[in-house]
Amino acid sequence: MLISKKPLANEIADLAIKNAVQSNNLHLIGISYLTIGYGYILVGDYAKAYPHYMNALSVYQKINEPKNLWRAYLDLTWIQIQLKAYNNAEQLIRNAIKIAKNENLIQEQAVSYNYLGMLNDSQQKFEQAIESYKLSISLNEKKGMEGNQISTLMNLAVSQRRSKKFEEALATLEKARILTDKANIPYYKQAIYQNLAELTFEIKDYAKAEKYILQALALSNSNNETVLRKGLFTNLVNVYKTKGDFQKALAYSDSVTKLDQNLYEKDKVAEILNLQAKYDTKLKDEKISSQNILNLQQQQQLLLNKNLLQLTLQQKENSELLFTKRQNELQNQKKLQEAAMQKDRLQAKIDKQTSEQQIFAQKKEIETKNRFQIFLGVLAIMAIGIAIIIFYNQRKTRKLNALITLQKKDLEQINGVKDRIFSIIGHDLRAPVNTLISFNHLLEDHELSSEKIKIYAEKISKTLNHTSVLMENLLNWSRSQLQGYQPHMKLNSLKSIADVVVNTLSVQASKKNIEIINDIDTNSKVFSDVDMTELILRNLVANAIKFTAVNGLIKLSALQQNNITTVKVTDSGIGMPVELLNQINSDETIYHQASRAGTNKETGTGLGLMLCKTFTDLMGGKLKVASENGKGTTVEVRLFTTEAA
């Protein structure tokens, strides 16, 4: 029996602590602190339990006893949950889990995750609680701990019920019931029926709720679980109140009152025995003053008054139930009187209907004439409606024709792209292959000097580099045309991407002695697809190298305003024709553009700027070109620095 005073066992633990301190035995000191702390937990005095567990924790952190250190963290977690200090409880249970994992303690891991579930459930984090319980269950199954399994399953069912997952909660309780029947643990059987009762009550299946409560009561009578029995009686009172059976509700409310009286009497006996034991123990060491005895009597009287107050409140509730029952009887009498009055009203209504039928016959003739007039009006409205429908259909047809014309134009442009690609494949891709075949014949049929081999190798390398760029652009273009293709957007460092591009093209620039300056700040960010951004910058810088003469200059810069970053690639090259400039700066999609030779007669594919504009549009940006023939070119790419709304 639990009482509200300090347990006598804790006084013994106090003596044990003194003896352990005198002997400087850290193991005994830690065990003593755990014991006295647990005694306070049993009586619900968590504030007094806390310092003893902290002392135990301090001791076990100094010695190698991982299980006792784990126990200290676990019980401290429970104390913090009861005190609603959830952040502290979170840290403590994480430490307990870490110790159990490091020591490969499967059972302790399972118990720790069960406590983590209770912590999350206390904070109404039901999904996290369910996840922790399931992890505990899997560990219990691995270790074969049926007792822990049943307790965890019941906790899981509570979280599922509180998160409105009623079917899952029923399935979980069924698993727990099967394990309980197998283990034959009466207390768990009663607890499962009580959980089933609360679940069915919440889903308003009051018949099943009543059935489960009565089954739990039968078990509580056999195993004498009086504390749980009080909760079952209270649940029955709620069920019968909801069903409107106030007589049964009153009967079980009386049972709650009697049970409270029995529990109170047993508590008083246990408390008196405990006080007597305290008195006898202390009498051996010192004399107890009469004032201390008076204080104990006053405390006992206060406890008596508290319990009497609880009984008075219970009697008040019973009186309210009697009042409700009487009120229900009066309402039934009122309903009978209303039924008689309703009968009289029905008779009056029949008489009234007879007279109304005569009036109705006269009105019917008038309504027939009115209907004919309405019919003519409806015909007129329908004619107007049909005319409106025809008008809107014609306008819709014109819009569809315009759309078809636009789509035809797009298809013609796409067909031009197709022809362009086949032309590239038929000529540009076949040329390097023919070159390789010719070189192979030369090697087979003639003995070439190393100088000639070097010359041929340089030409082949140049051809293959051009072919590699062509293949990459073709692949990127085809990927951009796939239906549903979306860029992988995230926040990227513009400086890092530009560095990669400059390093990649530095050798190509050095052949023309062109200086590339990367003036982009390290803090510049863009919200973009990193591969698309790199491809855009690489094509723009490659074009700048291609159309810039020897000893020229290329500069990369960026300006951030609000949530937009503008990237600029500026060169000192030959510029761009007005026709091409207008085509690029237009809002229309670029399907095809002619290729121009570079300052060193470099060849191209005509796909580079088309890809840059396509990928910029896919990322929600804008590409603009400013150029004057013979005076260089500046290409601006505007991208968001955060996700666009």
pLDDT tens by residue, 299-354: 555 555 555 555 555 555 555 555 555 555 555 566 666 666 666 676 777 777 77
Burial 223-244 (b: 16+ CB within 10 A, else e): eebeebbbbbbbbbbbbbbeee
Residues of the chain with CATH 1.25.40.10: 9-104, 185-263
The whole-angstrom separation of Cα 259 and Cα 229 is 8
Q: What is the average pLDDT across 484-502?
A: 88
| pLDDT at site 187 | 78
Give CA separation, 605 vs 37, 407, 432, 480, 540, in Å.
81, 26, 15, 17, 14
- Specify the pLDDT at position 325: 55
Please tell me which residue, 601 or 178, carries the higher pLDDT value.
Answer: 178
Q: Which of 62-71, 265-274, 414-423, 470-479 has the lowest mean pLDDT?
A: 265-274
For residue 553, give Cα distances in angstroms to 283, 337, 514, 518, 584.
102, 104, 6, 11, 23
Give me the residue label for tokens 């912590």: 119
pLDDT for the residue numbered 553: 94
Sign of CA dihedral 228, 231, 237, 238: negative
Domain 185-263: state its class: mainly alpha
Backbone angles phi, psi at 640, to 5 degrees: -75, 150
Band (140; pLDDT cuts 50, 70, 90): confident
Higher pLDDT, 577 or 244: 577
Q: Using CB atoms within 10 A of its CB, is residue 87 exposed (0-12), middle (13-18) or buried (19+)?
A: exposed
Residue 451 is predicted with a pLDDT of 79
Q: Which residue has the tokens 């299980």?
A: 67
Amino acid type, 634: T
Q: What's the gap between Cα 429 and its chain centre? A: 51
Determine what percent of the chain falls in helix, strand and coil, rounding each to the nearest 5.
Answer: 75, 5, 20
Q: Which residues contact 19 (CB under 8 A, 6 or more apart)?
A: 28
**Alpha-carbon gap, residue 431 to 419, rounded angstroms:** 18
Whole-number pLDDT of residue 275? 45
Cα 338–341–344 angle (5° rounding)?
A: 155
Residue 569, strand partner residues: 556, 635
pLDDT at residue 1 tops 50: no
**Using one digit for the tens of pLDDT, what is the confidence trace for 54-66?**
998 999 999 889 9
> Are residues 605 and 622 in contact, defined by beta-carbon separation less than 8 angstroms?
no
Query: In the chain, which residues fall in CATH 3.30.565.10?
Result: 487-640
Q: What is the mean pLDDT of residues 420-425?
A: 56
What pLDDT does residue 284 have?
42
What pLDDT sits at residue 590?
60
DSSP strand pairing (525-528 vs 515-518): unpaired
C-alpha 17, offset from chain centre: 48
The torsion of the CA quartet 404, 406, 409, 414, rounded to 10 degrees, works out to -90
d(CA 622, CA 638): 5
Lowest mean pLDDT segment, chosen from 484-493, 523-532, 583-592 = 583-592
Residue 476, CB half-sphere, CA atoms under 13 Å: how many?
Answer: 25
| Band (566; pLDDT cuts 50, 70, 90) | very high
Under 8 Å CB-to-CB from 169, ≥6 apart: which residues?
157, 158, 160, 161, 199
What local confidence, expressed as pLDDT, does residue 514 receive? 93
Reply yes or no on whether the pLDDT at 293 is more than 50: no
- In this prediction, residue 362 has a pLDDT band, given cuts at 50, 70 and 90, of confident
pLDDT greater than 90 at residue 196: no
Beta bridge partners of 525: 493
Question: What is the fold, at CATH topology level, of the domain defined by 9-104?
Answer: 1.25.40
> What beta strand segments (E) does 370-415 contain?
none
User: Residue 321's pLDDT is what?
Assistant: 56
What integer pLDDT is reported at residue 122 of this predicted model?
93
Q: What is the pLDDT of residue 294?
A: 47
For the cut 50, the answer to whether the pLDDT of residue 290 exceeds it is no
Residue 279 has pLDDT above 70, yes or no: no
Q: What does the alpha-carbon distance between residue 57 and residue 69 come to, in Å, rounded to a whole number?
A: 6
User: Which of 258-272, 375-389, 546-560 reaches the highest mean pLDDT?
Assistant: 546-560
Q: What is the pLDDT of residue 498?
A: 93
Choose between 8 and 433: higher pLDDT.
433
- Predicted local distance difference test score (pLDDT) of residue 401: 85
Distance from C-alpha of 124 to C-alpha of 188, rounded to nearest angstrom: 25
Q: 501: which residues sit within 8 A by CB, 6+ positions away?
A: 534, 537, 538, 541
CB-based burial label for 307 (10 Å; 0-12, 13-18, 19+): middle
pLDDT of residue 296: 44
Mean pLDDT value across residues 203-231:
73
Rounded Cα–Cα distance for residues 644 and 315 (Å): 66
Q: What is the mean pLDDT of residues 179-192?
A: 81
In tens, the pLDDT along 510-556 reads 989 999 999 999 999 999 998 889 889 999 998 899 899 999 999 99
pLDDT in tens, 84-108: 999 999 999 999 999 999 999 998 9
Task: Return the pLDDT at 306.
Answer: 55
Positions of E strands within 141-191: none
CA 484 to chain CA centroid, nearest Å? 27
- Higher-pLDDT residue of 126 and 225 is 126
Q: What is the pLDDT of residue 23?
A: 72
* pLDDT score for 398: 85
Q: What is the pLDDT of residue 285?
A: 41
Decide: 82 and 46 in contact? Cβ < 8 Å: yes
Please check the confidence at residue 5 and state whether its pLDDT lies above 70.
Answer: no
Q: What's the pLDDT at 292?
A: 42
Q: How far is CA 108 from the centre of its chain?
A: 28
Beta-bridged to residue 634, according to DSSP, are 570, 626
pLDDT tens-digit map of 621-636? 999 999 988 889 999 9
Count CA atoms within 13 Å of residue 410 on its CB side.
8
> pLDDT class for 158, splitting at 50, 70, 90?
very high
Mean pLDDT of the chain: 77
Residue 434 binned pLDDT confidence (cut-offs 50, 70, 90): low
The listed CATH number (3.20.20.70, 3.30.110.30, 3.40.1160.10, 3.30.565.10) that belongs to domain 487-640: 3.30.565.10
